[in-house]
Amino acid sequence: MTTTPDTRPENRVLIFDTTLRDGEQSPGATMTHAEKLEIAELLDEMGVDIIEAGFPIASEGDFKAVSEIARQSKQATICGLARANYKDIDRCWEAVKQARSPRIHTFIGTSPLHRAIPNLSQDEMAQRIHDTVTHARNLCDNVQWSPMDATRTEWDYLARVVEIAIKAGATTINIPDTVGYTAPVESADLIRRLIAEVPGADEIIFATHCHNDLGMATANSLAAVEGGARQIECTINGLGERAGNTALEEVVMALKVRHDIMPWDTGVDTRRIMNISRRVATVSGFPVQFNKAIVGKNAFAHESGIHQDGMLKNAETFEIMRPEDVGLAGTSLPLGKHSGRAALRAKLKDLGFEMAENQLNDTFVRFKELADRKKEVYDDDLIALVRQNEAVS
Ligand code: KIV
Ligand code: ZN
């Protein structure tokens, strides 16, 4: 079986979305069949390169969802997860094979802690990797292999099994930081060293798969790209087990905004980010924290007087990206006790009230009194304030 040559440019980083597999593994984040199909369609439309649609052997429902997503996908490669045994791999292939572009992703835990679970010696595990990757490759010409807990696997053993997987036909080698243990400098070095030292490494794509236990998943993923990885595994809103996975919106926007120092492109239409973020939050039942980068309610909101004044004069004073670029209508300047006269004037003008300086001063005093009692002052509150002012004057 031959592999299709990859004609993508050198500076292209593939986005592998695992919201429907690793994201859904988050306790309580289960999605219905219809919801999974909807999210897969949104991912496909936004331009992710690979969708990991589920773990076909895990349940009949997962199998059906992966199969249907495989049939419906228009652009993305559809991938399913399989443990390192023939039964899992066969089931995975059954589910993904109808995709325009199918991929089998098979994995095994290679660190000492994980080797102890199936109680395999290093040699026995190496043989298992050889046999299962060969089996997967006989079914599909697009095979991804992952040494789970790679970042806590001894270097010599990791290099040995990566070489075995490449020789057995893996086309992508994913290096998971399964427990979010690594740090950016190590993340870059590990990929760089694998590419430099493992025979055959320059023939395949290295992927990075980071978890966020120490809050470093985005930094570790970008560092891995710096080290030579050309596929980032991530989820919408960073959904995933424990503290989650690398957030798609963060890596994609970081590569866009800091293209000057990270000159890698993705194929993602960033204007679709907010919509899919909201849909994933709704269907998974995991709300997005207010101050979450890119997609949080406050990510493009400014309350303090100094910031609002700056924003009204020039949006670049306090925003490094345009809200429209992530699919928002615009910046929001919520009025609260930290807000100043300039924002109040602008808001009143929006509401149709043009007032003289002395009137504005009176309204501002009353607004501050109210803002001390209320977290946020809404449009209706302001209208009532103006009406009261009109009544007493
Ligand atoms: O975190 C992890 O190691 C995984 C593997 C299955 C790739 O999700
Ligand atoms: Zn994971």
| pLDDT 10s digits, 132-151 | 999 999 999 999 999 999 99
C-beta of residue 210 within 8 angstroms of C-beta of residue 182: yes
> pLDDT value at position 375?
87
User: Is the ipTM here above 0.85?
Assistant: yes
105 marked as part of a ligand binding site = no
Nearest ligand for residue 146 CA: 1
Please give the Cα distance from 255 to 270 (Å, whole number).
Answer: 11
Tens of pLDDT, residue by residue over 163-187, are 999 999 999 999 999 999 999 999 9
Across the chain, what does the average pLDDT equal?
95
Minimal CA–CA distance to 51: which of 74, 27, 77?
A: 77
pLDDT above 70: percentage of residues in the chain: 97
Contact 266, 208 (CB under 8 A): no
Q: Is 91 in the pocket of ligand 1 (CB under 6 A)?
A: no
Structure tokens at 243: 């503290």
Q: Determine the residue of 114, 144, 146, 213 to mutate for testing ligand 1's pocket, defined as the one with the most ligand atoms within 8 A of the Cβ atom.
A: 146
Q: In angstroms, what is the span from residue 305 Cα to ligand 2's centroid?
A: 42
Write out pLDDT tens, residues 83-132. Answer: 999 999 999 999 999 999 999 999 999 999 999 999 999 999 999 999 99
Atom from ligand 1 closest to the CA of residue 148: 3
Distance 310 CA to ligand 1 centre (A): 44
**Which ligand 1 atom sits nearest the alpha carbon of residue 174?**
7
Among 55, 83, 107, name the best residue to mutate to test ligand 1's pocket (greatest count of ligand atoms within 8 A of Cβ).
Answer: 107
Q: Is the CB of 274 under 6 A from ligand 1?
A: no
* Residues 112 and 80 sit within 8 Å (Cβ to Cβ): no
| Tokens representing residue 341 in the block | 């006269």
- What average pLDDT does the segment 207-230 reach? 98
Residue 245 among known ligand-binding residues: yes
The whole-angstrom separation of Cα 381 and Cα 320 is 31
Q: Is 22 annotated as a binding residue?
A: yes
- Check if the beta carbon of residue 338 is closer than 8 Å to that of residue 305: yes
CA distances from 288 to 28, 177, 256, 305 (A): 15, 23, 22, 26
Atom 1 (ligand 1): residue with closest C-alpha? Answer: 178
Our answer on whether the CB atom of 176 is closer than 6 Å to any ligand 1 atom is yes
Q: What is the DSSP annotation of 125-164?
A: HHHHHHHHHHHHHHH-S-EEEEEETGGGS-HHHHHHHHHH
Supply the pTM of this predicted model: 0.93
CB 56 within 8 A of CB 80: yes
Using a 10 angstrom Cβ sphere, with 0-12 exposed, 13-18 middle and 19 or more buried, the burial of residue 387 is: exposed
With a cut of 50, say whether residue 371 has pLDDT above it: yes
Ligand 1 contacts CB of residue 146 (under 6 A) = yes
CB of 353 closer than 6 A to ligand 1? no
Cα of 174 vs centre of ligand 1, distance in Å, is: 9
